[in-house]
Structure 1
Amino acid sequence: MKNRSNALLLALALLAACNTNTPSTGTAVEKHNPAEATKQPDTSPGDSCNVQFAGITFTRSLNGAAQNATVNGNVLTLRSDAKRDNFNDPDGKLSNHTAPVLLTQVDNTKPFTFTAKVEPEFLETYDAGVLYVYLRPDLWQKFAYERDERARTRIVSVRTIGTSDDNNHDQLKAKSVYLKISSDTKTIGYYYSLDQRQWELARLYKNDYPATIWLGVSAQSPMGKGMSTRFEDCSLTATSVSDFRLGQ
């Protein structure tokens, strides 16, 4: 009888041990930490950087842009290595996603105007100095002063929504040009000027980007052995142009 009673007590003890919900160590609690479960990955484009220029802090770098950037007073020089470009070709033959771009974050729920004097080193076809509106590799637009197929220098814009379009605008003979991107939260306008007084409209479209976007500067050399672009008189303000046709 004594042995039978001891066996019954042992069985009850084992059953109680199997049904307990209290962990013996902290491992199970840490594995299901709610704070870890809700942690979101960093979706910012490119790599972290800290390039300060003309009161603007560029905090993200695409394709090694920060390593190719030099700031000297009020001049930012950005170098593109050989065969660097951003273009999502509709048939894929010319697609390239290697251009160096410096980016600064912008609240797109508020107006903004981004302006810079752009002076590219024109050495080969499609060499260009560029301003960007950027979200991710398949959603961006660039506004460029570029050398075309006939060695002419002209204003060019490319809007990418999955694939890229390609728009050649006015031909210029100037060494440098002022480029401006402006938004009132509903509309984005692209403008160029030789004197910062008279602005010419290059492109106008609906601002259907999300609340947070990135503005940037870039240099490209898709066909060449590399080149540099100088950016100066750069500014980023929390206002928009008052006339989207005149750019003023």
Structure 2
Amino acid sequence: MTTELPPFFSAESIAACESAHAHGAGVEMTSGAATDLFTDPGNGHAEASAAVLTRAVNGPSFQFSARVQPGLRSTFDAGALLVRTDDSHWAKLCLEQAVDGAPTAVSVVTRHLSDDANGWSLPGADAWMRISRDGETFAFHVSTDGAVWKLLRIFSLPAHGSVEIGVVAQSPMGEGCSVEFTELTLHPHALSDPRSGA
């Protein structure tokens, strides 16, 4: 007997987001053209036009993960996981099309201004991504099989109590990007060793 998993995001929040559609227990997000979530470190311009769907999570520790499958067509098209403490403090873990055309693990940490860093190229536009929290310390991990995780970044955000977690679809230089987010999970405990990814 198969038990259907409940949706990760509420039906109300999905219905309220024009860019989101339920996909079994997961969700499909579609961004519009020229959309991004980024605060330019050069001029301070904040762009918040990307398709974003979030939910609140309480507690000082968690692990939030999903399989991310973006339809990459243009430079900087991406599907991402998001953690946000307020409008000026947030971070996203992206599967993004880099300037050279390769699907790439990318991290953006924003403390008023965005700190954008490319990680490594991935074999395709399909990866498991995870955000973990332990107090005000966060870690980004990426996996190509959902079992073995590799650390991309450890950083801090001012996080007192509840934070938002969610998913993002963006297409800063393109005509739009559709992203499937499946295998969405939330575990209410910290990693024993963020650097090992275990």
Tell me the CA shift for residue 160 of structure 1: 0.7
Kept in 1, the 8 Å contact 2:44–2:113? The answer is: no
Distance 2:33 2:158 in 1: 34
Evaluate the alpha carbon distance shift between residue 99 and residue 152 of structure 1 in structure 2; reply closer, same or farther with a 3 A threshold.
same
Q: Distance in 2 between matches of 1:78 and 1:53?
A: 18
Question: Relative to structure 1, is the Cα distance of residues 78 and 228 closer, same or farther in structure 2, using a 3 angstrom cutoff?
Answer: same
Judge conservation of contact 1:186–1:208 (CA < 8 Å) in 2.
yes
Secondary structure, aligned partner of 1:166: strand
Within the candidate set 140, 153, 178, 2:128 is matched to: 178
Q: Does 1:88 align with 2:39?
A: yes
| Deviations, residues 41-88 of structure 1 (Å, cap 9, x unaligned) | xxxxxxxxxxx9644438768xx9711111131331100000010111
Residue of structure 2 in register with 1:98 after alignment: 49
Are 1:71 and 2:36 matched, yes or no?
Answer: no
Instruction: Provide the C-alpha distance between the structure 2 equivalents of 1:173 and 1:94, rounded to a whole number of angstroms.
Output: 33
Amino acid at match of 1:175: A
Match for residue 57 of structure 1? 10
1:115-130 equivalence runs, <5 A: 115-130=65-80
Does residue 227 (structure 1) correspond to residue 167 (structure 2)? The answer is no
Structure 2: tracts of 5 or more residues without a match: none
Which 10-residue stretch deviates more, 120-129 or 65-74? 65-74
Match of 2:154 among 200, 204, 210: 204
Deviations 1:179-217 (A, max 9, x none): 001112242111000112210000112353121210010
Percent identity between the two aligned chains: 31
Q: Is the 8 A contact 2:38 2:46 kept in 1?
A: yes
Over 3 Å counting, the alpha-carbon distance change for 1:166 and 1:234 in structure 2 is: same
More strand by share: 2
Q: Which has the larger radius of gyration?
A: 1
Residue segments in structure 1 that go unaligned for 5+ positions in a row: 1-51
Q: Is the 8 A contact 1:221 1:227 kept in 2?
A: yes
SS of aligned partner of 2:99: coil
Q: 1:96 to 1:185 in 2, by over 3 A?
A: same
Q: Distance in 2 between matches of 1:67 and 1:116?
A: 21
Q: How much has 1:137 moved relative to structure 2?
A: 2.6
Quick one: distance in 1 between partners of 2:157 and 2:192? Answer: 16
Q: 1:240 to 1:56 in 2, by over 3 A?
A: farther
Return the TM-score normalized by structure 2: 0.89
The runs of at least 4 consecutive aligned structure 1 residues that moved more than 6 Å come to none
Match of 1:162 among 90, 94, 112: 112
Shift of residue 231 of structure 1? 0.4
Instruction: Considering fraction of residues, name the structure with more helix.
Output: 1
Higher relative contact order (CA 8 A, sep 6+): 2
User: Are the structure 2 counterparts of residues 198 and 95 from structure 1 closer, same or farther at C-alpha, using a change threshold of 3 Å?
Assistant: same
Tell me the residue number matched to 1:11.
Answer: none
| Number of the residue aligned with 1:134 | 84
Tell me the residue number matched to 2:140.
190
Distance 1:229 1:65 in 2: 18
Residue 114 of structure 1 pairs with residue 49 of structure 2: no
Contact 1:59 1:102 in 2 (8 A): no
Q: What is the count of residue pairs matched by the alignment?
A: 194
Matched to 1:82, the amino acid is A
